[in-house]
Copies of this chain bind each other. A is one copy, B any other.
Amino acid sequence: MNYCSHCGQPVSFAIPDGDDRPRYLCRSCGTIHYQNPRIVAGTLPVSGSRVLLCRRAIEPRLGYWTLPAGFMENAESTPEAATRETREEACAEVELQGLYTLINLPHINQVFMIFRGELKGDFAAGVESLEVALFEERDIPWQELAFPTVERTLRHYFADRQQQHYPLHISDITMDDRRLFFDLD
């Protein structure tokens, strides 16, 4: 952020009076520009013993497999965002069965929320997907998953499925988790 989106003058980065952390602030019109984490909402679509994954047609992680998910938009609810993303990326309808993973990603200012869902009817690749397919547990492309959030959600699911009990899992992706997943030094 270089300029004030309200008045167009250059912004400073400093701690406002009465605050405890630096913000972008405009000394011309007085606006404080708060920046907050974004929600990524999506689903884990299940059809019998198989789960649906999408192969990404866009960067980042083009060509890798992911769950249908994306940034929640203004004026919608979290379940609406999750079902919309599933429709957009997998041309699929799901009957939601509850929030399943909530994963904090403080290093990139995101909160990832996946709802379990029962796949209803057909599916196809949306414009952001190269292909969409159903996988048995043994066929999951573990080495070709797009993000650590996707791997973690799938690991929880296959473990929980043995007990047929799907509690909400809340966790964080740490810098170490990220390094391990992306095989960074």
**Chain A residues within CB distance 8 Å of chain B:** 1-8, 10-11, 18, 21, 24, 33-39, 71-80, 98-99, 102, 104, 106-107, 109, 111, 127, 168, 170, 172
Contact = CB atoms under 8 A, between A and B. Distances in A.
Nearest to A10: B8
A24 B80 CA distance: 23
Q: Name the residue among A4, A98, A106 with the largest chain B CB count within 10 angstroms.
A: A106
Contact of A111 (B11, B18, B39): B39
Given A99-B102, A170-B99, A109 B78 contact: no
State the 5 A-B residue pairs at the shortest beta-carbon distance, nearest first: A77-B104, A3-B8, A74-B109, A5-B5, A1-B5
A127 B19 CA distance: 11
B21 A73 contact: yes
A81 to B, nearest CB: 9
A127 B111 CA distance: 28
Given A34-B71, A72-B36, A77 B106 contact: yes
11 contacts: A1-B6, A3-B7, A5-B33, A8-B10, A36-B71, A37-B74, A74-B109, A75-B107, A76-B106, A79-B104, A80-B104
Contact of A6 (B3, B76, B168): B3
Nearest to A74: B109
B39 A37 contact: yes
A160 to B, nearest CB: 15
B38 A36 contact: yes
